[in-house]
Chains A and B, each alone.
Chain A
Amino acid sequence: MTHVRVFFIGGYIAYRALFNWMHPSYYIPTMLGAPLFQILFFAYIGRYTGLKDDAFFVVGNAVQLSAMAGVYGMAMTIGGERWTQTLSPLLATPANRLALFLGRSLPLIANGMVTSVFAFGVGWWLLDFELAAESIPPLAAIVLVSAVACTAFGLLVGAIGLRARDVFFLANLAVFSLLLMCGVNIPLDAFPGWMEAISRALPLTHGIEAAREVAAGAGFADVDHLFWTELGIGVFYGAFAYALFRFFEADGRKRATLETM
């Protein structure tokens, strides 16, 4: 079983994680090609169903794509470490855990921003999407805070991954759940009340809402409550993940589960 798992998971690491992502033969298809078609896919469903206009989908997916890298990246970082058996040596170091893992999130967030810029570009180029120049700075801030919040969420997935058998599966589930729940492609009022309540507690939801308003011409002052809510949610998940991480780390030492496959 180990072998098959190594294969599939090895494949999965490469599947959506950021391994080897700097190589153009990987980066271009995965980090630029796939997002392009994701936006077109949902925008066309939107056109066919008459659900919303193109801008709704361009903004939703552009923000989601920048955030996705954070969730995958963070979860895979921890899962990958465990996989390559480097987690124990890492945890044996006195380095500050928070700094250790937050440090790793920076390239992920930077990469997410690049994908996001590209995604907005695609919307402008291929779909019916316009953006006023003065909207760009507040939009960038919103994308950034969404990416940070999602990276914190990814840290939580990674922390659970310390104990769960399959962090890769978990990361996938998390990303697709965010795609479903956070109003990326479905307006929240289409959900039953209980689903909307969950959406409001997840990262990304408020970020996307703010980004849509800004893209439609609102100023930062009009959406600052959404901005701060998104940041607050991020801080909450980050803190929760950190506590869980420390707990599992201590517990894992006792029960020797850090290196289990």
Chain B
Amino acid sequence: MRALRLILTGWRFHVKSLTLSAFFLLTSAIQPILFATMAYFMFRAGSTEQSLLYVALGSGLMGIWSSTLFGSGGAISWQRWQGTLEVSIAAPAPFVLVLIPITLATATIGLYSLTATLLWGKLFFGVPFDLEHPLLFLLSIPATIVGLGMLGLVLAASFVLYRNANAMSNLLEFPVWLVTGLLVPLSLFPGWVEPISWVLAPTWGVRAIRDAALGGGDPVGAILMSLGLAVVYLGIGTVLIGYFERLARERATLSLT
């Protein structure tokens, strides 16, 4: 109960903090809009028939992934830089409960990307916004955010151990867009790609959101997969964070000085 309350308070706090950063907001809206525009043109000029809403939702999820990747991947370095890492670790709350709200918030901020690409698509490309299953669509969004947020927890912990979080973030933006089927169906890839996609939250997030919006598929199953993966990520993330904390206390890497 306490933990839940802490996560909720922390999440609100960090969403507010990120929202007040003009820089973060501009980046999380403009980059996805540019990529969405590219995707609209490519799909429109191509010969394959595909609904533009498919493209808009896929581009929006690309934005959610970018925001999680850069936000969560750099979360610990950012806290260290701000001087809040030490204060947070010195608090009695388990550090993983401090970090979860942060990574969830970075995924949540990705909703600005989704909203931006949908609005942009509607205004300039006439993308219709008709939902097959409005209720499932509403459920699929928080499920996707939770899945990506928990994946962010794993990223936060593993990137800080690699020590060059920015390089890892740079590396992982395109491949995850690619192998989670955000714009291109997985059937185009060699067979070994599919198992990789199963363990990545965006795969299920985009399926849940898209199937709920466009119909077909199994949105409920995808929502459950997203939430199930979130639990697995939480387990892995907790172990990694514990390891990081121990290591940091031994090696004195909590502060900048």
Residues in chain A within 8 A of chain B (CB atoms): 3-11, 14-16, 23, 25-26, 28-30, 33-34, 37-38, 40-41, 44-51, 166, 169, 172-173, 176-177, 179-180, 185-187, 190-191
Nearest-CB distance from B161 to chain A (Å)?
12
CB under 8 Å from chain A, chain B span 160-184: 162-164, 166-171, 173-175, 177-178, 183-184
User: Cβ of B257 < 8 Å from any Cβ of A?
Assistant: no
B41-A49 in contact (CB<8A): no
B9 CB-CB contact with A under 8 Å: no
Contact residues in B for A190 (Cβ distance below 8 Å):
41-42, 44-45
- B residues whose Cβ falls under 8 Å from a Cβ of A: 21, 23-24, 26-27, 30-31, 34-35, 37-39, 41-48, 50, 70, 74, 77-78, 81-82, 162-164, 166-171, 173-175, 177-178, 183-185, 188-189
CA distance A48 to B49 in the complex (A): 10
| B82 & A29 in contact (Cβ 8 Å cutoff) | no
Q: For the complex, what is the distance from the CA of A215 to the CA of B164, rounded to whole Å?
A: 37
Contact A38 B174 (CB under 8 A): yes
B164 near A25 (CB under 8 angstroms)? yes
Complex CA–CA separation, A25 to B159 (angstroms)? 12
For B35, the closest partner residue in chain A by CB is A176
- CB within 8 Å for A173 and B30 given contacts A29-B167, A50-B48: yes
Partner of A191, one of B41, B169, B173, B185: B41
Shortest distance between the CB of B163 and any CB in chain A (Å): 7
Other 15 A-B pairs with CB < 8 A, given A14-B166, A15-B70, A50-B46: A7-B82, A8-B23, A33-B171, A34-B170, A34-B173, A44-B178, A45-B184, A48-B184, A51-B45, A51-B47, A169-B23, A169-B26, A176-B31, A177-B34, A190-B41
Contact of A172 with B31 in the complex, beta carbons under 8 Å: yes
Distance in Å: Cβ of A73 to nearest Cβ of chain B: 15
Interface of B is mostly: helix
Give the residue name and chain of the B residue nearest to A38 (CB): B174
Cβ of A49 and Cβ of B43 under 8 Å apart?
yes
* Most B CB within 10 A of own CB, among A41, A44, A47: A41
- Nearest B residue to A33 via CB reads B171
Nearest-Cβ distance from residue A62 to partner chain B, whole angstroms:
15
CA distance A166 to B24 in the complex (A): 12
With beta carbons under 8 angstroms apart, the residue of B24, B45, B170, B174 that contacts A8 is B24
Are the C-beta atoms of A3 and B82 separated by less than 8 Å?
Answer: yes
Task: Judge whether A26 and B167 touch: CB under 8 Å.
Answer: yes
Chain A proximity of B31: nearest CB distance (Å): 6
- Complex CA gap A248/B21 in Å reads 28
Q: Please tell me if the beta carbons of A41 and B177 are within 8 angstroms of each other in the complex.
A: yes
Residues in B neighbouring A169, C-beta threshold 8 A: 23, 26-27
Chain B residues whose C-beta falls within 8 Å of the C-beta of A45 in the assembled complex: 39, 42, 183-184
With both beta carbons as reference points, the residue of chain B lying nearest to A6 in the complex is identified as: B81
A183 to chain B, nearest CB (A): 11
Q: How far is the CB of A254 from chain B (nearest CB, A)?
A: 28
> Which residues of A are found within 8 Å of B26, using beta-carbon distances?
169
**B48 and A11 contacting across the interface, CB-CB below 8 Å:** no
A202 to chain B, nearest CB (A): 14
User: In whole angstroms, how far apart are the Cα atoms of A51 and B37 in the complex?
Assistant: 15
CA distance A30 to B167 in the complex (A): 6
Q: Give the complex CA separation of A6 and B37 in angstroms.
A: 30
Q: Which of A4, A26, A40 has the most CB of B within 10 A?
A: A4
A11 to B78 alpha-carbon distance, docked (Å)? 9
